[in-house]
Amino acid sequence: MSNPQQLRYSKEHEWLTAAEEGVSTVGITEHAANALGDVVYVQLPEVGDTVTAGETCGELESTKSVSDLYAPVTGEVTETNQDVVDDPSLVNSAPFQGGWLFKVRVTEEPKDLLTADEYTEFSGN
């Protein structure tokens, strides 16, 4: 498993892109997707919602369990991935591409986000 170098990672297993015009894309890592098992339902924050770093902002349900989705940054949700809502298996099959979850206009980024190498060490993958 390879974690893309250009992304930043949270200890709750979310990833995010560098902000483009203030907006970052958020998803869950391949490690988290594999641990969850087959994702069958995704509840995402709504466009316009404010999310807060480290707080629950949605839910992922798999054949194994239900897991909270945590916001890796603070900001306003600008877009959600309707493809993932319609086909939750994208979270498993393409966690770093088509399986992204939402986009957020970042107002605050925590200092404890990890690089790809730090996340790999943290997650043991």
For 78-102, what is each residue's pLDDT tens digit? 999 999 999 999 999 999 999 999 9
Tell me, yes or no, if the pTM score tops 0.85.
yes
Locate 80 and state its tokens: 């959600």
**Looking at residue 43, what is its pLDDT?**
98
pLDDT at position 66 is 93
Phi-psi region of 13 (alpha: psi -120 to 50; beta: other; left: phi over 0): left
Taking only the tens place, the pLDDT of each residue in 18-28 is 999 999 999 99
Strands 39-43 and 23-28: unpaired
Q: Indicate the pLDDT class of residue 125, thresholds 50, 70 and 90.
A: confident
Q: Does 33 have pLDDT greater than 70?
A: yes
Q: What letter represents residue 69's amino acid?
A: L
Strand order in the sheet with 8-9: 8-9, 14-16, 23-28, 102-108, 74-80, 50-51
Q: What are φ and ψ of residue 67, in 5° steps?
A: -130, 140
39-55 pLDDT, tens digit each: 999 999 999 999 999 99
CA separation for the pair 108, 105 (Å, rounded):
9
Tell me the C-alpha distance between 105 and 107, whole Å. Answer: 7
